[in-house]
Structure 1
């Protein structure tokens, strides 16, 4: 058989055939390196996430332990009144209020210290009372800043002269608020006023047109020591309404009603079985 002349492809085959094994080995090596690199990055990411989670958990445990020790120490100081001066009690209340105002009803303690300051404050009685009021108003402001972001509100002003000339109480202008698709009508009336304690006796009427034409009414007191996350009214569809006193003067008082989701209420609030069922029904209906 005669040797036929080799064309270009025959020559190319002779040149590139030895390279096939090299290219295959190179491809396998690159694939192995890429796979190893991906696995290494994943392992590093999982390790970092685990370390971060452990650090956050340790931090939360440390903060919880610190808050527990602080709470126990402060409470014990109030249980031993003979060993604490008025200044110590005021300082302990400030620590308690600033650190635990979202989970404790501090109104009884504020009222108790107010009476002690009036009885034993001497020349510093006015200073202690002013300090007590400032703490309460700051706590209310902190809570309202959060609740206003997630809820709805409206404000009303009470004319004390008008109230005194209205024996049956002073009815304020009604307001309609809508939160998460639920519309409610709120009706506020001022029944009485206590200038010395800077406290108002209020009546709140709430009507939810889509649920019932009946107006639900309740009577309560509101002062600087009533905080919205703690002192609020439970409504249907896991919502809350609270009235806060912003300002109390000789001629009038300024207040705000805030409507907000029940999840932002105090930690001491227990969710009722009906609210859980209603929440599940809403989520199921929305396809979430």
Structure 2
């Protein structure tokens, strides 16, 4: 097959090699149109299981299925020419055994064409990460606050304030890096600890609610774009305020429809003369 004119996409190896060069730009993506808009500006796009809350109105990510992740992974891949695309393994798709993790990771890679998978967990998942990477599955790790464990950790909160908690996160980071992950998300972790971990591990750290010293940053795109105004986590910055703009546009549309000023003549099809 000819590759003339095709854009070379960023690989997981490229992401791993970016540690110590410049910050890695990452965002979540769930649909083709948004992926097309984000792609020119991002090194990595994550099809996160956060889609359960962002798109489907779920309370947590626990209810997200493999079928949902694959469908949205396929959608994002249709809109990408440049960025490395990673798809989350949803809750229950990898915790049972390393063999289960491989079967589901392989399915995601085959059915979406993405570049790798992400899974949550530290020391307890290191053997699984090693098993996957040894069999050709690039793994994006995730330590610190782990949303899939919200039912056992008592909710969403920053971690690492006690020495016991901090030491566990340090061990998790080291274990995932040594197991062969190409990078890891560090979420909801106090700034000094995230900074320390970034300096200690050999692979890139991608922060969310962590430290500017991490090797990159990621946010949920809908949060960053200001599409939700009812709740804004401390670590989120609105780089736009699209919710009011969308509401205003819909209001204007509704007014014109009610007034019969839309569609105007130029928006209709007329008989040919």
TM-score (normalizing by structure 1): 0.22
Per residue, is there more strand in 1 or in 2?
A: 1
Which of the two has higher C-alpha Rg?
A: 1
User: TM-score if structure 2 supplies the norm length?
Assistant: 0.22
